Chains A and B, each alone.
Chain A
């Protein structure tokens, strides 16, 4: 069983077929994914509000689908309105920020204002994090808001080992390993650095094949208990525990 906390809905600008709900469900069945949390690809790379509208329709297609609201901090007021619009939807678990596509650094005051505005909610932040500099910015954000939970997408990317060291002191930062390169030791080092309870399963599906991260888990030298914790136990705690194991 898997709970995948990093998925996307919608077409990508690459040589990848469109994944509509039926095909997504087939993939979830193939890899035994019981819950998946999606954000809109269109919302990330183009218009966040149009993407979020598409996503809300998609989420109704299956009980296993959950979602993040994509925000673009360049549009601060509109971003706050967007969360207000959807935060009562029980399918929405958090907010997705992509500082590379929006070109708004995590350290930008607009990012801090968004987090501050919703800091009294249980919304989780999935933040694309690539490189030690971005990881350091995320660490500052997590330090400022110790009661807000952040997921460091990609564990910082290709310099993930150093990025893990940066976020280790912050218990409100979780990590997930997906990346184009399936480093054999990434899961083992992640667990040994930040602790087993802060490592989640995220695949980047529909951009990346879930087989990538599953292979990293299966070949990563983890115990059975560690695999289960990464595959779904930590996500159940993070999402609220209302999922049958």
Chain B
């Protein structure tokens, strides 16, 4: 089964001693012959511009594709960097409100979305907690980019289902779909077309994310859609 993972990262991990190097990520992906979107953790934990440059410099285009990031806490510093991300090779942009401690109704984030709306690529938002997905849905209605929500688990699955039912450009990344039958449950209410595979590797277990889809009772066609087809459709190319 082909796999395209929308949620990986590499670099230094400060929260505990853990090898999250690009080499380790490549090794994990290699075990499954998977391809991935990825970005440097430097851009998440420290400085987006430095991180984005590192992402572009270190990632080859064979199996790993670069994702940009921006930290709205630094707005408007380096905001001009966001104006031509696609031409520099980025396939998506990711934001980390949960890790960085801001909420998605943060005014600088709205300014950032206004700028990147000119780029048609997916916007990935790593979030959590009640109400955040609802706030994302309000923002998503104002832009045309596909908005991929990462951080949907058993506690906020109802919220994810509700916003997918209401807003056409919202998609759900799978790594935290932790309740049994989560995919089967969602399929019944909103279908499988709006799910894209993500693992959180190498911080989180790729095997876990893979098992959640592979060990589900979905059909092989549904699994293919989640593992790579839906994301390929979003970025508009066959990777």
Contacts and interface: CB of A to CB of B under 8 A. Distances in A.
Contacts of B204: 181-184
A85 interface: no
B189 to A, nearest CB: 9
Nearest to B202: A184
A203 B40 CA distance: 31
Interface of A is mostly: loop
B211 A215 contact: yes
A180 interface: yes
B181 A214 contact: no
A15 B178 CA distance: 11
Given A181-B176, A184-B202, A207-B179, A212 B185 contact: no
B18 A210 contact: no
B33 interface: no
Contact of A15 (B158, B200, B205, B211): B158
Interface size class of B (residues with CB under 8 A): 20 to 34
Contacts of B154: 12, 14-16, 180, 207-208
B103 interface: no
A205 interface: yes
A228 interface: no
A216 B153 contact: no
Contact of A184 (B178, B179, B205, B211): B205
Interface string A181-211: 1111100000000000000000001111111
B121 interface: no
Nearest to B212: A211
Contacts of B181: 16-17, 209
B215 interface: yes
Nearest to A14: B154
Contacts of A19: 180
Interface size class of A (residues with CB under 8 A): 20 to 34
A225 to B, nearest CB: 19
A59 B180 CA distance: 20
B176 A180 contact: yes
Interface in B167-219: 175-182, 185, 200-212, 215
A27 B202 CA distance: 28
B88 interface: no
Given A12-B154, A16-B185, A180-B153, A208 B178 contact: yes
Interface in B14-49: 16, 18, 28
B201 A211 contact: no
Interface in A18-42: 19, 27, 30-31
A169 interface: no
A99 to B, nearest CB: 19
A108 interface: no
A219 B205 contact: yes
A205 B208 contact: no
A184 B16 CA distance: 12
Nearest to A181: B204
Q: Ordered nearest first, which 7 A-B pairs have the shortest CB separation?
A: A215-B208, A219-B207, A182-B208, A211-B211, A215-B207, A182-B205, A15-B158
7 contacts: A12-B154, A14-B155, A14-B179, A15-B158, A17-B185, A211-B215, A214-B208
